[in-house]
Each structure stands twice: as structure tokens, then as C-alpha cells.
Amino acid sequence: MDRAVMRWPMFLAAAALAFAAKGAWSAEDATPRVVLVSIDGYRADYLDQHPSPTLRRLAAEGRRAQALIPAFPSATFTNHLSIITGQPPHRHGIVNNTMHDPAIPGQVFRLRDREAITNPAWWTTADPLWVSLEKRGLPTATVFWPGSEVKIQGVQPRDWLPYDGDLGHTQRVDLLLSWFDRPAHRRPRLATLYFSAVDSAGHSTGPGSDAVDRAIQDVDAALARLLDGLESRGLLAGTRLVVVSDHGMAPVPWNQQIYAPELIEGFPAVRWEWFGPASGLRLHGEDRGAVLQRLAREPKLQCHGKTQLPEAWGLEAHSRVPDIVCVASMGWSVTDRRLGFPIPGQHGYPGTHPEMHGIFLLWGRGIAPGPQPARSALSVRSTLECLLNGDSRADPDFPHRCH
């Protein structure tokens, strides 16, 4: 198995020397391949608000959806799994960034807990696209994607590496391009490329800030480098880019925090498991009706038992979903910190809110330009499969039929 785990700098240097020695590919490789790019936290309206020549080029020359509607809760791991599997959260099982599961005692799923996120027990019902492709013998590669660091159904992408938030945008692109310098049969058919800077800036300074603007420009420059690299290798003919984001971002003023412990005074067994715009509680034997009645006193919070969640939220009961799930009013958030822990930008709200809408762009040779209606994050996988299974030499309608 080809892997770049923790050895990517040496591998990248060797690949660069090999490419310099042989020069650009002598003929274009039209084998269908897809590069799936995720710009975490990129809100749908950012494209019109922030200078980004590469992204605007992709939108003008390709297909742009009005929005990509995230699954609920609009969390990073939850929606990256929905995008790559086509499954809603209660099917793929990653129902939030933080989870408890009675079937996995003694371990809490948290993003910063490598032992937890690489435990296959959390991923047993997920079905990422790279699994089916690898089973068919088609190479895949991930420059980061939730789930790629663990064997799911006994399978991982051919190339992957542990998440490293310090790996720069240029380094991420160059690493991915180095994998395309291989002989044709070993080049990735599906590759993912993940950028977190826009999300980080949105959290720390709020959407629309100067920091968000700078992060978008940095990511835009990295995408330009990717396109130039594919073109210089003669690989642009067969490559389609799908650019998505897992969710948007909403401003949350420091004084619009709901203090969680006060809401459950008198119910000593109740424990909060989720915080933020989408929060949740485990009852541990306390009376559901009584707890819901107490929560109903908070006017900025809408709470339901997990078997009676609103259909519009799109989340169904699962062992990892807390007994009660709450959603704060837009611009409000639930916290357990009395002294305040300002997070100027947050996400997690249902996808019915425009602030949570993400981006969807489809670009490449044969993609007819034009707008698209808003679409669900669950629809992306079918587009990826269509793009990977088509051949413009044998099918004149490809890839026009891939939506």
C-alpha cells in the first residue's frame, strides 16, 4: 500500500526530482478522475463577498449551486461524512464532533482524541466512496478527510496521512500533485484536499472579518497552484474539480450565550453532551417530560426528545444522539462556561438557515457552465460516482449528465 504517513517531505522531494527529470507528460491523460476540495466553513455567500479569482473562475466556467445544504447538526465531521458517503448522520453514525456511545464504554469521540477517531468501532456503518473504489482496485488518496485515518470495512485510501493542521496550503497541494506524478495506473482516481483556514478564521473573528478574507485569498491561491500543477502534468483533460464546504458560519455575539448548568438545576443526574448552537443532554434516569418543561423556560432554545425531533432537522434517533436535542435561536449558543468563552463565529444550526449554507462548484472539461438550485450535502457522492464512471470518449453525454 502506498502511504505518505509522516514521510511526505522526503517523498515529495523525490517526486519533484523525478518530474523534473522526465519533464511534463508528453500527452494528456483523459482518464476520468476527481479532486474533491473541501473549504471548511466557507459560507455560500462568501464567493460574492470576498475577492477570490480562482474560485470565481471555477464558478463562471463550471456549475455553481445556489447553496450546499448541510446535514444537521452542521458540524465538520458529520457533514464531511455525509458528503463522502451520501448518508445522513443517523446512517453513517458520526452524528456530531463529540459523541458518547453505550456500545463503546470508556471512550468519548472527540476531534482531538486520536485514539478515539481512529477506533474502527465508531465507523462501522459509514460507507465512504474511497472504500468501494479501492475494493474495485481504483487508487484513492486523501490530503485529509474525516474517516481516512481509520480502516473502514478494513479499507483505507491508498494514500493518506494523519491530520496535521500545521501543514501549509502550498505543501498540501504539492503533496497531492506528487501522487499524480506516478505512472498512470497508480495515479489517484479520487483525491481529496482539505483546507481549514477559513473555518478557523470564522470561529476566531466572525464571518466577514478581515481574517476570513485573508484565509479565502490563501486558499484561492492554493487552488490556482493545483490547477497549474495539473495542467503542467497534462492531467487537466481528465480531471474534474468538485469544491464543497461542510457548513457556513454565523455571528454569535459574546452576550448571546445560554449558560447550560442553570437550565438543569434540580436534575442532578442530567449531563450535557453537546454544546453550541446544537446542544444535547443525557437524562440518566431523570424524567424526560420534566426536563423538557424546564428547558422550555429558555425562550432562545428549542428542545425535543430524540424520538420526536422536527422533520426539518433531518436527524433521527441513534444511540449516539443524546436523549434531548436543543437548537438555539440564530445568533445564540449554549455554553458551560460562566465567565464567557467568546466564539464570534459558530455553526451547528439546522441547514434551513442561510448562514449555514455551504458552497458547491463543479468544474472541468465537458461541464456545461450555469447555475444550479440549492442541493443537499447528501447528493454529492452520486455526482462523484457519475464523474468517475463516465468516459467522454465513449459517452458523448458525459459529463453533462453528472449533476
- Does the pLDDT of residue 12 top 50, yes or no? no
Cis ω for the linkage preceding 399 (within 30 of 0): yes
Higher local confidence (pLDDT), 82 or 367: 82
Average pLDDT, integer, range 213-242: 96
Residue 2 has pLDDT above 60, yes or no: no
- pLDDT > 90? residue 89: yes
Does the pLDDT value for residue 198 go beyond 60?
yes
Summarised one tens digit per residue, pLDDT across range 263-282 is 999 999 999 999 999 999 99
Residue 14 scores a pLDDT above 60: no
Q: Which of 31, 54, 76, 118 is catalytic?
A: 76
Report, as an integer, the average pLDDT of 86-92: 96
List the beta bridge partners of residue 140.
190
The pLDDT of residue 338 is 66
Q: Is the pLDDT of residue 40 over 70?
A: yes
> What pLDDT digit, counting tens, does each position of 285-318 carry?
999 999 999 999 999 999 999 999 998 888 888 9
What value does the mean pLDDT take over residues 154-183?
97
Query: Taking residues 31-59, what's their average pLDDT?
Result: 96
Task: Work out whether strand 239-244 and strand 324-328 pair parallel, antiparallel, or are unpaired.
Answer: unpaired
* Contact criterion met (CB below 8 Å) for 59 and 361: yes
Query: Is 335 designated active site?
Result: no
Report whether pLDDT(4) > 50: no
Q: What percent of the chain has pLDDT over 70?
A: 89
The pLDDT, as a whole number, for residue 31 is 82
- Residue 355 or 13, more confident: 355
